[in-house]
Structure formats: C-alpha cells, structure tokens
Amino acid sequence: MRIAFYAPLKSPTHPTPSGDRRMARLLVQALEKAGHIVDVTSHLRAYDGKGDPAHQSAIKSDGDRQAMGLLDAYLDGLRPRPDVWFTYHLFYKAPDWIGPRISQALGIPYVAAEASHAPKRAGGAWDMGHRATQNAIAMASLVIGFNKDDEACVRDIAGAQSRVVTIPPFIDTAPYVAAGAERRTYRAMAAGQYNVSPMQPWLLCVAMMRDGDKLESYRQLAHALGNLSDRPWQLFVVGDGAARDDTQQAFGPIAERVSWLGEQESEALAGLYAACDLYIWPSVREAYGMAFIEAQASGLPVVGAHVGGVPGVVGAPETGVLVEPDDMAAFTTAVAGLLDNEPTRLSMGRRAQEYAVSRHSIDCAAKMLDELLQGTLS
C-alpha cells in the first residue's frame, strides 16, 4: 500500500540528530521493509515549545495551506493518492494540522503512532494544540504506542472505530549483532584509541546531556560509581549537549576513570557497545530508552531503573537488572554484583542479544506494522 508519512515534531529529514528523528526514520524503514511505499508528505515542524498562541496560529495556517495543496495534488492526479495517512509523534506541543484533514477528505484511514493526550493542558497556553491532538486521536482508525503507560489516556478519547495497540520499541539490530561478533577487534581498537586498559571491566552509558531528567540520571550515575571506587572499572560516556559542563562536574571525584567520547556516528557507536562489558543508566523518568535495546543487541547486560517503558525493553532478570527509581543503593549493588561476576555478565549478555533480536528488531516491527495496517484497511 502507499503510505503518506508525517512527523510533526521532527521530520525524518531534519538536519539535527535526536531520538525523535531516529524513530521517525526507523518507522519509515520498517514500513518499507514490509513492502509498502512510503511518501514523506511534509517537513512542516509543528512544534511550539514556549506556549505562544500566536506562533501556534501561524503554524496552523502553514498546515492548512499544505493540506490544501496536497489535497489538490491528490485529486488532480499530480501526486499518487495514499491508501493510509500515518503520523508519528503528535502531542499538544506538536499537533498534526495536515493528516486529519487529508484523511477525511480522501476517506482513508488515519493512523497515529506515539500519540499522547495530556488532559491538564486543556485551556492552557497550548490549548490549541491540545484540542487538535485530541480530535486527531478521536478520529484515528489505529493508534500505535511504544509504551504501555501511555495507553490509558489515549483510550479515554479514542473513537469507537479506533484500535489502540502497543508494540515493542525497535531498532535495526543487525549492525549491533555484527559488531558484537567482533568484540575482540573493537576492544583492542578502543583500548588504543582511548588509552584504556582492556584488563578491567568497561562500563558504558549513551545519553544526551541536557538539563532535567538526563542531567539527574548522570548525577545519580556519578554517585553510584563513586561508591565503587574500590573496584577496577572504566566508564565510557557517549553523548553531548548544553549540560555537558554540569555533567562532567558531577563526575569530578572519579574524573580519571571516565572517558568522554562525545557524540558518535552509528557505526562507531555499534563498535563501542561491542567493546564494553556492561551498560548502566539510572533512567530517571525514561520513556523507554533505545540505548537499552542497542546494548542488549550488542550482547551487553544492562542495569537501569524499573520506570516508564524501560521494563518493556529490558528482559530483566535474564538480560539485566532493574531497580526501583531513585534507589541508588540498589543500583550500586546491582552494578557491583555484575562487576564482580564475569560469568554472569557473559551469560546475561548472550541472553540479552537473543532477547533484543527476537523482540525488538526492525524485522519484528515490520511484520507487526504490516499486520496492523492490513487489518485497518480491511
């Protein structure tokens, strides 16, 4: 089928990397892998982060113009008519002003992925986006989520015709599996490049450096590792951002045991996962954490917090350890236990890779998305 695809928060062609852009690209890739023709119909960024009604009105006007232009092109045969409209990540700060209008005019199903509804935003600074998102969810034939915790609010406003489904988050696991098979090579390369002894356990975390939950996660991680200074280990930190200075300051007491690698391209990142022994991240208020999937696909056990959608992407206790949120004593104990027990780390890592490939691969997602879309059309 032909799918019109739109991501109002960030287009898959946006120049700035982010988790949102990556997920949009993965969805396009999965839909194409399932045999569908995907047309990214608009690059309009509908995001307003300041709660400015005038800015929101201007974005809506742009969306209305694009919707009319697309509709004319479809009806005049200048552009192939889609069978389904598919919008990724709409919420009150980034509503979809295009898809619902096109879907209604053409009489085609409207599908929303990772839609969220925040009742407390009604009447506030983002009321316009709140109402638009609520209306879009209500008219959707299918709403696909990646975090079970988001399902309840969406179900409350979904229409009688709507099917609300949660599927596992996914990545292209192949590059991580391939890199994991060359662990010795990548470890030797990293040891030379970063001047780190390969004879001690290597810990890894991958996250952006920004204020809020990410910075708090880094601070918790620094606190936990500060209590493990009696053990041999080296931490690799992949990521960058506006809170880099505050992040590095948090690790001041153990600075000599931290290697700051900055942002890494996906190919290099797969090699770093493969070179390391354990992935650790306190996951403060994490939605689900794609890096947990990457780590497991690479053959690494993980330590994180039992919060949000993290339990849905970590196969604990077989593939790692999840502790209660903000319980730093339990987090420290979990890391210490895996540092001290190499056989357990290795067996967990093998199970982690099997788990990631069997549940969170793009092949799995392509099959599930195809079945859902075929069911929606029929």
Give per-residue pLDDT as tens, 121-136.
Answer: 899 999 999 999 999 9
Nearest CA to 111 out of 125, 99, 127, 123 is that of 99
Say what the pLDDT of residue 150 is. Answer: 79
Sketch out the chain's domains with CATH numbers: 2-170+361-377 (3.40.50.2000), 174-359 (3.40.50.2000)
Q: Taking the C-alpha atoms of 174, 177, 180 and 181 in order, what is their torsion angle to the nearest 10 degrees?
A: -100
Alpha helices (runs of H) in 34-139, residue ranges in sequence order:
53-75, 99-106, 127-139
Residue 315 — pLDDT band, cuts 50, 70, 90? very high
CA distance 328 to 287: 20
Would you state the pLDDT for residue 118? Answer: 85
Q: Is the pLDDT of residue 16 over 90?
A: no
The strands making up 258-262's β-sheet, listed across from edge to edge, are 258-262, 234-238, 202-206, 278-280, 302-305, 320-323
Output the CA–CA distances (angstroms, integers) from residue 73 to 59, 76, 80, 195, in the order listed: 21, 5, 8, 58
- Could you give phi then psi for residue 7, rounded to 5 degrees? -125, 95
Is 275 within 8 Å of 156 (Cβ atoms)? Answer: no
Residue 189 and residue 259: Cα distance in Å, rounded?
15
Whether residue 267 has pLDDT greater than 90 = no
Strand partners, 235: 203, 258
What confidence category does residue 319 fall into, taking pLDDT thresholds of 50, 70 and 90? very high
Q: How far is CA 11 from the centre of its chain?
A: 15
| Per-residue pLDDT at 287 | 83
DSSP 306-320: S-TTGGGT--TTTSE
Per-residue model confidence (pLDDT) at position 61? 98
Mean pLDDT value of segment 341-370:
97
Contact 148, 164 (CB under 8 A): no
Tell me the per-residue pLDDT of 190-220, one tens digit each, with 9 for 90 and over: 999 999 999 999 999 999 999 999 999 999 9
**Per-residue confidence (pLDDT) for residue 162, from 0 to 100:** 87
> What predicted TM-score, i.e. pTM, was given to this entire model?
0.90
pLDDT of 148 higher than 90: no
Higher pLDDT, 300 or 120: 300
